[in-house]
Amino acid sequence: MSYINSSDQSQSSLPPDKEGVIKSGLKRLNQSLVLMHRTRLTVWKAMLITVFVAGFASALVLVVSQDWFGKIWGAPSSITNQATVTYKDSTNKSYSGTSNTVTTNIVASTGPQISLKVLPEEKSMNYSGTVSFYVYTAGATTNPVVQASGTADANGLIVIDAKTLTNQSYDLKIVTFYHLSTSLKGISFTGTNLDLSTSNPLRPKAGNLQDADNIINSLDWQVMSVKWGTNDAVADVNHDGMVNTLDWGIMNKNWLVSGD
């Protein structure tokens, strides 16, 4: 009969390689920690990417919306369409002749409007430029009821939106670059379109080169004198390509004249 020692039995139930078991456990633990770390990094990367994409999308929407609002609010009051016709025969062969360009001005209908023609002195009759206009209650010189700027067309025509005006008399003041301001007094407005462009055009006097004090004096001559003999666009008052006595003659004619 054989006997089994109890201590030997307990020892025989353990794995033969304790060190291997410990290493295996530590390896699995390390793999778990690495996996958790990688998962955490992946989550953070995903969150950062999401935030970046969301921010970029928001910025894009803002830019686009501002651009469209800018187009809406800054849209011109008139649109010029140009069409050119090229002659072709039945075989689609093009011929050398091209028709004259046809231009059509379409004025937006936004309510009552006041139409003016502004042709600054010494500008050609084919004038297009920026015009600032101010509408005052008749007799007033401050606090204009309408203040805006626009671009005249090739004939000097500019249209003022008058939908906020009430039925009464107004004074209109026009300002263009390097010219004295000029005005129309006592314009009677009745709530309908008022076309003043058929009368004599407003002709702001030339020579206000200093363009700040609204009077032609030595400050304007100082601007001209330093550009003498050049083709400076500002000092060349008559636009003949040279600053000379002809330009001084225009300035001298308006010497000490003030704008309205």
Residue 210, classed as helix, strand or coil, is coil
Q: How many Cβ atoms sit within 10 Å of the Cβ of residue 227?
A: 16
The confidence score (pLDDT) of residue 1 equals 43
- Cβ-based burial of 41 (10 A; exposed 0-12, middle 13-18, buried ≥19): exposed
- If we measure between CA atoms, which residue out of 132, 135, 136 comes closest to residue 118? 132
CB 219 within 8 A of CB 210: yes
The confidence score (pLDDT) of residue 79 equals 58
| Rounded Cα–Cα distance for residues 207 and 216 (Å) | 6
Looking up tokens 């091209």 gives: 98
CB 181 within 8 A of CB 173: yes
Q: How many Cβ atoms sit within 10 Å of the Cβ of residue 235?
A: 23
The confidence score (pLDDT) of residue 6 equals 43
Tell me how far the alpha carbon of residue 95 is from its chain's centroid. 41
Q: What is the largest CA-CA distance in the chain?
A: 145
The confidence score (pLDDT) of residue 71 equals 43
The confidence score (pLDDT) of residue 229 equals 93
Q: Is the whole-model pTM more than 0.85? A: no
Angle at 148 between CA 147 and CA 153, to 5 degrees: 140
Tokens of 230: 């050049």
The confidence score (pLDDT) of residue 156 equals 82
CB 242 within 8 A of CB 236: yes
Mean pLDDT by 10 residues, the chain (260 residues): 44 53 58 57 59 58 45 49 65 65 60 82 68 87 85 82 84 87 86 80 87 88 92 88 92 89
| Rounded Cα–Cα distance for residues 226 and 218 (Å) | 12
CB 131 within 8 A of CB 151: yes
Q: How many Cβ atoms sit within 10 Å of the Cβ of residue 162?
A: 22
